[in-house]
Amino acid sequence: MKPQEIFVALKLLAYGRKPWNYEEIAQSLKISPSNLHRSVKALAFSGLFIEEYKCLNNSLLEEFLLHGVKVVFPVKAGGVVRGMLTAHSAPAFKDSFKPNPQDAYVWPDANSENKGFSVEPLYKAAPAASSLDADLYGLLACVDVLRIGKARERNIAVELLKKAFADYGKLP
């Protein structure tokens, strides 16, 4: 399992059950269509994607994110840098947590106005893709909470992810 595959799975989760094509999704993720295709094949091999229906295996992906992502893709916070807010500091958590610059997490970006402890994104293209897709950004922030957050933060991330999975199951 590679980080890019989870990045792709999160994009497909954010995209929902609408029909999609490789070119469109690849462009939105800032990766090549061939890399997207390889990632989808790897997701299918692991059981996280059902090729026949061109959709995610909700229950297995949810289980992996909630229980495995922290172990498979661990992360430690670095020093304070400028960057794009992530984890519990991201906009997806604004209703759950008061912004606190003292414990903010960011994906490093020298051009950002935000400051916080640096966290390596799950995948290198995550910040660029997140700037184009608020839903993907929220899901990536949830995954970062699962990777680095405290218990209360993790509980809220789990709720948000469960809602995303419930929404994914609805046909457009």
The pTM for the full model equals 0.95
> CA 8 from chain center: how many Å?
9
Alpha carbon 107 to its chain's center:
13
Average pLDDT over residues 118-147: 97
Residue 172 has pLDDT above 60, yes or no: no
pLDDT cut 70: percent of the chain above it: 98
Last residue of a domain, one of 72, 88, 107: 72
Residue 50 and residue 124 in one domain: no
Q: How far apart are CA 54 and CA 15, in angstroms?
A: 12
Q: Which of 72, 89, 118 is the last residue of a domain?
A: 72
> How many alpha carbons fall within 13 Å on the CB side of residue 57?
15
Predicted local confidence at residue 134, as pLDDT: 96
Last residue of a domain, one of 45, 72, 99: 72
88 and 61 share one domain:
no
User: Which residue range is the domain that position 32 belongs to?
Assistant: 3-72
Whether residue 171 is predicted with pLDDT greater than 70 in this model: the reply is: no
